[in-house]
Amino acid sequence: MLESLGVEPDDEAAYRALLQTPGCTIPELAQHLGCDDQDTTARVGRLEKLGLLTMTSDEPAHLLPTRPDVAVDALVAVRRAELDRVRAEARVMLSELRAQEQHRPENLVEVIVGQEAIAARFFQLLNGTQQQLLVLDRPPYASEADESDTQVRGLLSEGVVVHGIYSPDSLDIPGGVDEAFSAADAGETSRVHPQVPMKLAVFDGKAALLPLSVDQLVDSALVVHPCALLDALSEMFWLLWEQAVPVVPRTTTDPTDARLMTLLTAGFKDDAIARQLGLSSRTVGRRVAELMEALGARTRFQAGIHAQRRQLLED
């Protein structure tokens, strides 16, 4: 019964015999077991080490067995501690294995096939993000877009820093402008760039998710783990960021003018700006001319840059 706790069968037999003859000497125990004194002395030494008996200090020493319930509880505690040490060592070994596997070429890029699998992997990476999320946003979109927006809002509420760069196409779809400005209101630091090359999400600088196709909604995507490619994708994001125009939250002073200049420098024509802002094209054209004159700009794009420098567009 005690073998699973580290007690050999012969030693358990000696312990059981001692329970029947508590206080006996080694020779008496040897006679009870039918063994010689040398073998019995060895068994007694092992039982004492396990805490199953104690020896008196008189001569000859008498053997006092530990109560079975106390003895078993002590053995269980010792074995549990040993198992905990083994478990901890296994975790160390696993981390060493993962560190080795991480640098194998076949483990640097993960191919995901199927829209459901891509969405599941995206949310898994999103849920593991603790510090920073970088997003390049452009069509086409999967049906899970609304759910992903909700998840991103949740990250913002948890203190995760979110940087988003939108393409003009993403703002031109119905509700696109409102969605971008809502994200800015929620705390996302957003910008618009006229040429967003692809959809991309970088999670804590530890992984990136991007589709295999730039212009079509396909059933395959890549997850890039730490390597030179991930570094290059992150660097590309920040290069685009430096060239992009900020999206301002609704709390900004003169939000209509700020949004107008954001859309203008993103490449939108007057008609498109008017549609997004709910104004007439004539009103947009007149306000653009007024802003250009006030800013001393010769071109619309230059007006947007000047406005940004003068903090009409807040970052």
- Identity at 314, one-letter amino acid code: E
Taking the model in full, what pTM does it have? 0.58
Whether cis (ω within 30° of 0) applies to the bond prior to 139 is: no
Of 36-45, 185-194, 300-309, the least confident:
300-309
Written out in words, the top-level CATH class of the domain with range 1-102 is: mainly alpha
Three-state DSSP class for residue 310: coil
Q: At what angle do helices 281-295 and 300-309 cross, to 10 degrees?
A: 60
Please tell me the predicted confidence (pLDDT) of residue 129.
93
What are the two backbone dihedrals, phi and then psi, of residue 33, each rounded to the nearest 5 degrees?
Answer: -85, -20
Return the domain boundaries, the chain. 1-102, 112-247, 252-315
pLDDT digits (tens, 9 = 90+) for 87-125: 888 777 777 666 655 556 666 888 899 888 888 899 999
Residue located via tokens 């709390």 = 251
Task: Check residue 247 and report its DSSP letter.
Answer: E
Fold of 252-315: Arc Repressor Mutant, subunit A (1.10.10)
CA-angle at 134, arms to 209 and 131, nearest 5°: 105
Q: Binning pLDDT at 50, 70 and 90, where does residue 143 land?
A: low
Burial (Cβ within 10 Å: 0-12, 13-18, ≥19) of residue 70: exposed
- Identity at 47, one-letter amino acid code: L
Please tell me the predicted confidence (pLDDT) of residue 146.
54
Q: Do domains 112-247 and 252-315 have the same CATH topology?
A: no
Q: Binning pLDDT at 50, 70 and 90, where does residue 57 land?
A: confident
Written out in words, the top-level CATH class of the domain with range 112-247 is: alpha beta
CB crowding 31-63: b at 16 or more within 10 Å, else e: eebebeeeebeebbebbeebebbebeeeeeebb
Query: What's the rounded Cα separation, in Å, for the pair 210 and 130?
Result: 20
Res 315 pLDDT > 50: no
The DSSP secondary structure of 143-176, one letter per residue, reads TTHHHHHHHHHHHHHTT-EEEEEE-HHHHHSTTH
Average pLDDT, the chain: 82
- Identity at 35, one-letter amino acid code: C
Instruction: Work out the number of other CB atoms within 10 angstroms of the CB of residue 280.
Output: 12
How confident is the model over 275-280, as a mean pLDDT? 84
Q: At what angle do helices 300-309 and 255-265 cross, to 10 degrees?
A: 130
Q: Binning pLDDT at 50, 70 and 90, where does residue 42 land?
A: very high
Helices (H), the chain: 9-20, 26-33, 37-49, 68-102, 115-127, 145-157, 168-172, 176-186, 228-243, 255-265, 270-277, 281-295, 300-309
How confident is the model over 205-214, as a mean pLDDT? 88
Res 306 pLDDT > 80: no
